[in-house]
Structure 1
Amino acid sequence: MYTGIADKSADSSVCIWLPNTDKEYWKKYKEDIEMLGPNVEGTPLGLVVPKYMEDVNSIKDLANNTNSVGDKTEWTITGIEPGSGQMEVTKEQVMKEYGLDDWTLQASSSAAMATQLGEAIKNEEPIVVTLWSPHWSFSKWDLKYLDDPKNAYGDSDDINTVVRQGLKEDAPRAYEILDQFGLTKDQLASVMVKINNGMDPAKAAQEWVDNNEDIVNEWFKNVK
């Protein structure tokens, strides 16, 4: 994604998580990409467990093996795609900051992580996963973020829009629309839930657009 926008083989992205999750990628490519700013504000990420794990409420509880959480989960944090921003932050900052030396961060995929989470919840088994908001899983299951008293994950990210250099001159209307594009977390989550429930992504997006013309019109305001 970053490479494509930097080398101008792609025009834009609306899913750049900063200042924390994608910070290493941003450091590498920021000189070759134009930042337009947030399109969704206040999007946290962290380690998440089902609410029925009542005695595990902080990342410190993982380090302390509270209620034998390490033994019960085989000392495994179920993660997502290797190399993703959240996986890098979890491995290089969070696990080191809290001394989770006995724990393994298991790389998989976002879909595989959600499947494992669902299976654990079905059997009311303990599980620790990497997650973020907005995400459809919070609408489907009762989940909670583990407290991060050392703020190892940093403050909440914003999801940002970036474009390739020269897009403003080459496609000024598209540039203006992207610059004005924005959603709330709840608005984005409502579409994600429908997609997860089986609706075609394009149909889910079109349905939301049809039902929210006032918001969509703001994206096109003063676009000529």
Structure 2
Amino acid sequence: MARPRNQHARRAEIVDAATSAIAARGLMGLRIKDVADAAGLSPGSITYYFPGIDELLLAVHEAAVTRFYEGRRTAATDVDDPVTALTRLVELGICDPDDPMSPALYELHLYSARSPAHAELMSTLFDLETSLYREAIDGGIAAGVFADVDSELVARGAVALEDGCGIHLVGRTRALDAASARSAVTQYLQAALRCPDLVVDEHSR
């Protein structure tokens, strides 16, 4: 295969195709050929960049972690109001099951039980998400709009609740939708921070 002019772009295309393939087929039995079909490339074109499926799965997990974290970080840090920042974190923290990244990320998180490299990525994402919540909570405590609580503990609880809701959303649990998941996280934070002004407006979505 001829070397593409922009190898970074081609790698990103392959990672995107692999993400879609994982979302559609799951990890069990996933082959390089499945990714090649999704990307519209030959299997040899895939292995030019990723020698095996393990390397490709790790790249998909890394890309998903980066995308999920950076999107939330940007939304939360471009505002000065801690209540707004926290609201944005809640809005973006509940996954969209129709976005291939969401089911792919949960599939790869489960894979972490058998792979130290993936386990490290899962831990990294949890720590990064916790840090976003903690920073917003600390800002609200300093501003006097949140109760003086253990921000690390509350932040971890919010991330854990998000992840639990996310599993059910990706699994299409009938009793839970994205709006009710956001409501659950919001109510938890309202109670923990004693801030009734913390509200996610579903009508604006």
Q: In proportion to residue count, which structure has more strand?
A: 1
* Highest RCO, 1 vs 2 (Cα 8 Å, sep ≥ 6): 1
Q: In proportion to residue count, which structure has more helix?
A: 2
Fold match by TM threshold 0.5: no
Q: TM-score range by the shorter chain?
A: 0.3 to 0.5
TM-score, scaled relative to structure 1? 0.31
